[in-house]
Structure formats: structure tokens, C-alpha cells
Homo-oligomer: A and B are copies of this chain.
Amino acid sequence: MEQRKIGITELALRDAHQSLMATRMALEDMVDACADIDAAGYWSVECWGGATFDACIRFLNEDPWERLRTFRKLLPNSKLQMLLRGQNLLGYRHYEDTVVEKFVAKSAENGMDVFRVFDALNDPRNLAHPMAAVKKHGGHAQGTICYTVSPLHTTEGYVKLAGQLLDMGADSIALKDMAALLKPQPAYDIIKAIKDTYGSDTQINVHCHATTGVTQVSLMKAVEAGADVVDTAISSMSMGPGHNPTESVIEMLEGTGYTTDVDQDRLIRIRDHFAGITPKYKQFMSAITTVDTEIFKSQIPGGMISNMESQLKAQGAGDRIREVMEEVPRVREDAGYPPLVTPSSQIVGTQAVFNVLMGRYKVLTGEFADLMLGYYGECMGERNADVVEIAQKQTKKDPITVRPADTLEPEWDKLVLEGTNIEGNNGSEEDVLTNAMFPGVAPGFFKARPEGPKNVGRTAEQVAADAERESGASKAVREPIRYKVTIGDRSSTVSVEPA
């Protein structure tokens, strides 16, 4: 029996630490793994985009473009892969087409190979231009289907979307399951139907999170249905709200008709590298270590729940999370059943919080109003006309039916002017793009950039101290603490510290 080769995309350098440790991993904690990653035989190495760009400039004082160039140098034999939010690029609003093209051009120029392009609403109009830009600049254009569950989402609908992506010239289709909702049977059905409809040489990449504990089985079924590449994370950076382990997915295929080209000895070295790194980021780590199947009921991804919880707590209403979780599906229905993924998950979640705290649709967030008025694009379902009217009244904006970016004036020249006027900018188009996407953060970053990267992980000494404290071998007092001490009838305030 001839074995079919399955490709693997390694997520350790991007989505794994984004999902497990709030995107805080510093480049310096990745570089020593790169030689092994480069030689392991992955189909691609996801290492950029998503939230990493934001985290680099906001938390790590790292230039994201420099990070990309470093990966390009350290992974000369690998296809580098990024996650691109369609017309939003890596920011949180729609950009005009010349900016989108500039960003794609600069990403390709700095070394990016595979662009996984998605839109939070699955609106193909938001994907067409970025996909065309990727193709124009020689990248691999991967058109993405965001998988979600609703009364309107069907296998046929996903197949249709796949066709639209192929019509845009997609080099491959990604089935992206950001909330771990993709069960084995739908995984099989969707992929089988896409292959049957558009031909078995249609490349399909599958991206699942592990949160619900079912998706490794979904990857198996996806492979059986014809999937070509699956996304995994090295075991020491896997599971929980992250992804299925690379090693387990490879072992799972043994004896089936499928095989991979990945070098397992390299995987051991990669695993050991990150096993040594993760304890540094413990304070950012997700508390989920087992599985969470409640998501199937609520369809609310874990990260969204913790966001809503902190919003409620900030309003002194931490006890109302259940009400908010019941409100989310209603808000989602009113919005026409968007998938819940950045930024739609935040937009829907925040509006649900507003509805519970202030009365249903008494106050709309600006973003939710825009969503209702079509400024993010079209969803699968009709929007609730009453809520659209409220949005119109509140914002004095008219609903649109055109592609959102078509309402934007050309803005590149203006962005160049803005960017190059900021103190500390280096005059590059890369800096212009950084500021365009994060105008609130970039100026501070440009100023601080000369100080160099700031690793927010704990030091080796702190990690050792943590381990000692956990083993119970610690001293009770490890840093100066002030106590009130009473001797007889005399009280004093004293400071106690290790001698």
C-alpha cells in the first residue's frame, strides 16, 4: 500500500505561545530551537502575525519586523507562515487596499512565505484584495474558512466559501477551528466535500485548538477525508487552550495509510528546548490544563469568557457572568451569526456585557454598531433590523452594503506622513506600517526601541526559586516584609528579610 504524505505546520513560534502564555514569549527564547525546527521537515513553520506583532511592540520592546528577519535567517530551509486578518492586517480596523498591499509586500520582502488570510465574518470580499496582494508578491496565498457552529452554517456553505477562495487564486484552503468546536464527523464531511467538489489536488490545511479534547480525533478524520497538512505544536507547548501535540499526531498515523516526513529526533530536541522555557512564562499561562467541553454548549471560546469576566469585575458585577454567557448567543444571532474570532468575539462579548449591565441595546459599543451597520462586512445571517436601527440612530451613520474597505479613502501617503513624523521612527516603510496598525502603541515603542528587547519571562534564578517554593523547601520570608511586632505591651513595625 502506498502511503500518503501528510504535512505538518509547527505552531510553537506563534499560535502556541499566543494561546498558552498570552503571546509573551521573547524571540531570544526561541532562537536556540530554530536549527532543529528548520531541519525537522515541517511543511511550514508558523512564526509571525496574529497577536505577535502587537505583543512585540506592546510588551516586549521587540521590533516585529526584526523578529521576522531573524526567523528568515535562522530558518533558511523552512517555509515561514503567518496569520493575517484580511483587510484588518494585524490591527483592529479595516485598512484601505494600498496599505494592505504595502503590508503584504513588506512581509514578503522580509521573508514571509505562506500567508494564511482570514476574515472574522468569512466575508469573501474582505479576503479578495489581501489574497491578490499575496499572489502578486510571490507568497503562498492560503484562503481561510473560519469554522463555527450556528443554525445557518452548513457543510454546503463552507464548500461554497472554499470555491470563492479558490476563485481568488488560493494556493490552499485552511479550515480554521479557533475555538476547538470542530468535531470529527463535520471535519470529515467538510473536507471530503471540498475535495469532491474542487478536486483531490485542492490543498487543505487544518488548524484546530485542543481545548475541548476532541480535535485530535478531528485531525485523524480530516486526514482520512483527504486533508494535506495539519497544524500541531510540539508537546511541551501543547494542549489546554493550545493545540494537539506534534509528536502525538505523528504517532497516531503509524500503521494507517498516512505518514509524515518529520524527523522525530529533532522533535525531542525541540520539545526539550521549550520544556525548559515554559516555566519562565508561568505567570502568563492559562490555568486550563485539562479540557473544557462547555464551549460546545455556549460556543464561547475560553479566551472570550475570561475577557468578559474581567470587564464585569471592573464594573463590580463579577457575579453576572452566567447572564452574560446566556446573552452572547442572542447578540450573535442579532448580528447574523458571525464566527467568534478576533475581532468579532471581542465585539460580541463586550456588547453582551453592555446588554446585561445597562439593558439590552440601551448602549451600543462603537464597534458593535459598526458590525450591525455592515462596516465589518456581511455575515451568514440577516442582521436584526431593530438593532440596526438603534445603531443608525446612535451613531448617525448609514448602513452599508458595499465592501467596507471601499468606503475608505486612499491612506498610504497620509500614513507615511504620520509615521515618519514620530520620534524614533527609522524612516522605513515597516515603521510606517507598525504605526498604521498600532497608532496608540507605536510611538512609545519607537522611543524605547534603542533599549532593546525586554524579556518579560522570569529569570532562571526566579524559576529555580519558584520550584523551590513549590517543593516546600523554601524559607517563609524571601523578600523584605513589614510586620507589626508586639513584645509585652510595646508594638513596633519591623522589616523582616532573609539574612
Taking Cβ atoms with an 8 Å cutoff, the residues of A that contact B are 183-186, 189, 212-214, 216-217, 220-221, 235-236, 238-240, 244-245, 247-248, 251-252, 254-256, 268, 289-294, 296, 475-478, 481-487, 492-499
A238 contact set on B, CB distance < 8 A: 213, 290-291
A186 touches B255 (CB 8 A): yes
The smallest C-beta distance from A156 to any residue of chain B, in angstroms, reads 15
The smallest C-beta distance from A275 to any residue of chain B, in angstroms, reads 9
- The listed residue (B248, B289, B291, B486) touching A248 by CB distance below 8 A is B291
Given contacts A185-B255, A254-B185, A290-B235, contact A483 B477 (CB under 8 A): yes
- The listed residue (B212, B217, B251, B493) touching A212 by CB distance below 8 A is B251
29 A-B interface contacts by CB (under 8 A): A184-B220, A185-B254, A185-B255, A189-B255, A212-B248, A213-B248, A214-B252, A216-B216, A217-B217, A235-B290, A235-B292, A235-B293, A238-B290, A239-B239, A239-B289, A239-B291, A245-B291, A247-B293, A268-B294, A475-B481, A476-B476, A476-B477, A477-B481, A485-B496, A486-B494, A486-B495, A487-B494, A487-B495, A493-B499
A189 contact set on B, CB distance < 8 A: 255
- Distance A292 CA – B238 CA, assembled complex (angstroms): 11
B214 touches A293 (CB 8 A): no
The smallest C-beta distance from A344 to any residue of chain B, in angstroms, reads 24
- The listed residue (B239, B252, B268) touching A184 by CB distance below 8 A is B252
Q: Knowing that A185-B256, A217-B220 are A-B contacts, what are 15 other residue pairs whose CB atoms are under 8 Å apart, sorted by A's residue number?
A: A183-B255, A185-B254, A213-B245, A214-B216, A214-B251, A216-B216, A216-B217, A239-B289, A245-B291, A248-B293, A251-B296, A476-B476, A476-B481, A477-B483, A483-B497
The quantity of this chain's copies bound in the complex is: 2
- Distance A220 CA – B186 CA, assembled complex (angstroms): 15
- Distance A424 CA – B154 CA, assembled complex (angstroms): 68
Chain B: which residue is nearest A275 at the CB level? B290
A220 contact set on B, CB distance < 8 A: 184, 217, 220-221
The smallest C-beta distance from A210 to any residue of chain B, in angstroms, reads 9
Chain B: which residue is nearest A213 at the CB level? B248
A252 contact set on B, CB distance < 8 A: 183-184, 214, 217
B499 touches A248 (CB 8 A): no
Chain B: which residue is nearest A20 at the CB level? B290
Chain B: which residue is nearest A283 at the CB level? B472
- Distance A269 CA – B183 CA, assembled complex (angstroms): 23
- Distance A494 CA – B487 CA, assembled complex (angstroms): 5
- Distance A37 CA – B304 CA, assembled complex (angstroms): 31
* Ranked 10 nearest A-B pairs via Cβ: A213-B248, A484-B499, A185-B255, A247-B293, A476-B476, A214-B252, A289-B289, A476-B477, A486-B495, A217-B220
- Distance A106 CA – B272 CA, assembled complex (angstroms): 50
B482 touches A251 (CB 8 A): no
B213 touches A290 (CB 8 A): no
- Distance A213 CA – B236 CA, assembled complex (angstroms): 12
The smallest C-beta distance from A299 to any residue of chain B, in angstroms, reads 13
- Distance A113 CA – B251 CA, assembled complex (angstroms): 36
A256 touches B289 (CB 8 A): no
A485 contact set on B, CB distance < 8 A: 494-496
A293 contact set on B, CB distance < 8 A: 235, 245, 247-248, 251
The smallest C-beta distance from A298 to any residue of chain B, in angstroms, reads 12
A213 touches B247 (CB 8 A): yes
A499 contact set on B, CB distance < 8 A: 482-484, 493
The smallest C-beta distance from A272 to any residue of chain B, in angstroms, reads 10
- Distance A484 CA – B238 CA, assembled complex (angstroms): 45
Chain B: which residue is nearest A493 at the CB level? B499
A476 contact set on B, CB distance < 8 A: 476-478, 481, 496
- Distance A289 CA – B290 CA, assembled complex (angstroms): 8
A254 touches B484 (CB 8 A): no
A496 contact set on B, CB distance < 8 A: 476, 483, 485
A240 contact set on B, CB distance < 8 A: 289
The smallest C-beta distance from A366 to any residue of chain B, in angstroms, reads 34
B235 touches A213 (CB 8 A): yes
Chain B: which residue is nearest A293 at the CB level? B247
- Distance A329 CA – B292 CA, assembled complex (angstroms): 38
The smallest C-beta distance from A241 to any residue of chain B, in angstroms, reads 12
A493 contact set on B, CB distance < 8 A: 487, 499
The smallest C-beta distance from A279 to any residue of chain B, in angstroms, reads 12
- The listed residue (B186, B216, B254, B268) touching A183 by CB distance below 8 A is B254
- Distance A189 CA – B244 CA, assembled complex (angstroms): 24
- Distance A478 CA – B477 CA, assembled complex (angstroms): 12
